[in-house]
A and B are shown apart, each in its own frame.
Chain A
Amino acid sequence: MTELLLEGKEITVTFGRGAEAFEAVRAANVAVSGGEAVGIVGESGSGKTTLARVLVGLQRPSAGEVRLEGERIFSAETEQSMPRSERWKTQMIFQDPYSSLNPRMRVWQAVAEAVQVWHNLPKAAAREEALRLLQNMGISDDQARQFPKSLSGGQRQRVSVARALAPGPKVLIADEPTSSIDQSAQAQLLNLLRRLQAERGLAIIFISHDLGLVRYLTSRVYVMQTGDIVETGETQIVMEQPQHPYTRLLIDSIPGRGNGAG
């Protein structure tokens, strides 16, 4: 049994106060081991993105704690944000590759900036490292000299992955990374994520509303509905024998099963 790498324990996130208070996530327990790929599946409003933002240190939980390699690094009680010495270990890529890159920075600069921040390398060395990271993601030196606007959605998303990999993280959280890119680019990105997991032992938390993608990429899954984790287990077993009615509904909604026509 591999040791737990990143763990969210009893995470609750409440927005607003008093009568306006709204619990986006309720006492959620999630964990990923080294080299493991887990899925968080749910629809808009399920709390899956909020939970991810807690895990990566962008959102303080109202209750509960985040543990990394067994150490508590972030919780409702601690005053400060997630410590820098821990932050590099968990990186995140976002749904929209169009808004997550600075439009006035060349592609290599966006990645070199991340390299410099985390490795404190001189400029020339950071550039070299950025180009190497981009090349591994299938972005040529020529494309790296462009501004993000001349790249396709799929290419931009691969740039985001290169940037996220700059600090050499242990966990990559991918929040709906394929929902705004074309199908052929989607297959390329999924292959890439799978290889990072299989070959480099990168742990992946893959967030999606699409159980088909989650089935392909992950070995365990958490199903979220309006802030609660309603079902969890091995992805294959959950897909074949869903226990919760909401999981069954999600499975029945996958297009291509001949049921979209009612």
Chain B
Amino acid sequence: MLPVVDAANLSLDRRQAVGIVGESGSGKTMLCRALIGTLARHGAEITAGTVRFGGLDLAAASERVWRGIRGREIGYIPQSSLAGLNPVLTVETQLVESISAMGTLSRRQARDKAVELLERVRIPRAPQVLKARGHQLSGGMRQRVMIAAAIAQSPKLLIADEPTTALDVTIQREILSLITQLRHELNMALVLVSHDLAVIEDVCDDVMVMYAGASVESGPVAALSKTPRHPYTRALRVSRVDRALPGQDLDAIPGDAASVGSWPAGCRFWPRCSHADEECRRGSQPALMPIGRQLSACIHAERLVVGEQLPAVANQEDSARRRK
């Protein structure tokens, strides 16, 4: 048995939007699958920890229980869902499938509902698009159809795993803005997974940063952006191109991400961290601890904040605060 995620913590309130950011292999997608009850389909299982939704404990829920939750209570846009739309079936066939899960609707009612859903995701000429096949639609249109299917049963929570990764920037902007509008219209909570912190900062209230299967920092987007309390979060911010002037080196994180199966002892980020000392290499991955307005898994979180302000960021009051 190989652990792929072992110290992930995520929580969100009704109507809240939380982003999960991390590099490939950090466990973002596995965590999503745990939240939607599809780990078994990928040969994985939850061996420790809890998944609570409303009053329900879902960590050990049967497939029968999940069938009542998935789609109905929690909508899901899987990663590379652009490939998820069957190219030869019509949009109608595929949407009606999601709708008929809602119960006894006549063919006509289901079709009307499908048109309504396409209009809801701002697809113009919905009745014509309903007759189109997957391959006839652009990437942006296909993603809108996938979103329509995910929200068909007005779920309380929408989980979107890298929904804009394969899209052009202008389309990415449209899709993110659509997801935000739908969230407000349907009073949905949102979990948005992205490898791009900037995308999450545009859309979410809170963010959880993952590294090598563990949550390393979480809290309000504004707090993490102003005063990151984990060296990895800080590194993600300062290595961005908009942080450097042309002609200046980017502050790149040295080395490569720890891959599944070869996580180092102690804090998993230490081999790439400029703050690491003997203490960081001992024991296991540190737990999240409150500091300021956020949680950090760095045992030197205070030192990091006092010693190093981000460039172009004013010194704020939290910098003086101490870990309790």
Contact = CB atoms under 8 A, between A and B. Distances in A.
Interface of A: 43-44, 152-155, 182-188, 190-191, 194, 198, 209-213, 215-217, 219, 235-236, 249-250, 252-262
Interface stretch (B55-63, B199-207, B306-314): B199-207
B239 A256 contact: no
B235 A253 contact: no
Interface of B: 23-24, 139, 168-173, 176-178, 180-181, 195-199, 201-203, 235-236, 239-242, 244, 246-247, 249-253, 256-257, 259
A44 B173 CA distance: 15
Contacts of B23: 182-184
B232 to A, nearest CB: 9
A54 B170 CA distance: 26
Contacts of A215: 241, 246
Given A152-B257, A154-B256, A217 B246 contact: yes
Contacts of B171: 43
A215 B248 CA distance: 12
Residue with the greatest number of chain B CB neighbours at <10 A, chosen from A155, A198, A216, A257: A216
A45 to B, nearest CB: 9
18 contacts: A43-B169, A43-B170, A182-B24, A182-B195, A183-B240, A184-B23, A187-B252, A191-B249, A191-B252, A215-B241, A216-B241, A216-B250, A250-B169, A255-B201, A256-B242, A260-B173, A261-B202, A262-B178
Contact of A209 (B169, B196, B249): B169
A236 B195 contact: no
Contact of B252 (A188, A219, A253): A188
Contacts of A186: 239
Nearest to B251: A187
The majority secondary structure among interface residues of chain A is helix
B246 A219 contact: yes
A235 B197 CA distance: 25
Contact of A253 (B170, B239, B242): B170
A184 B235 contact: yes
B40 to A, nearest CB: 27
Contacts, number: 117
Given A43-B170, A183-B195, A261-B202, A190 B257 contact: no
A135 to B, nearest CB: 15
A241 B239 CA distance: 26
A235 B235 CA distance: 26
A163 to B, nearest CB: 19
A236 B246 contact: yes
A153 B139 CA distance: 24
B172 to A, nearest CB: 7
A194 B24 contact: no
A249 B251 CA distance: 28
Contacts of B256: 152, 154-155, 185
A261 B169 contact: no
Contact of B176 (A209, A216, A261): A261
Contacts of A250: 169-170
Nearest to B171: A43
Contacts of A260: 172-173, 176-177, 180, 199, 202-203
Contact of B239 (A184, A194, A236, A257): A184
B253 A184 contact: yes
Contacts of B246: 215-217, 219, 235-236
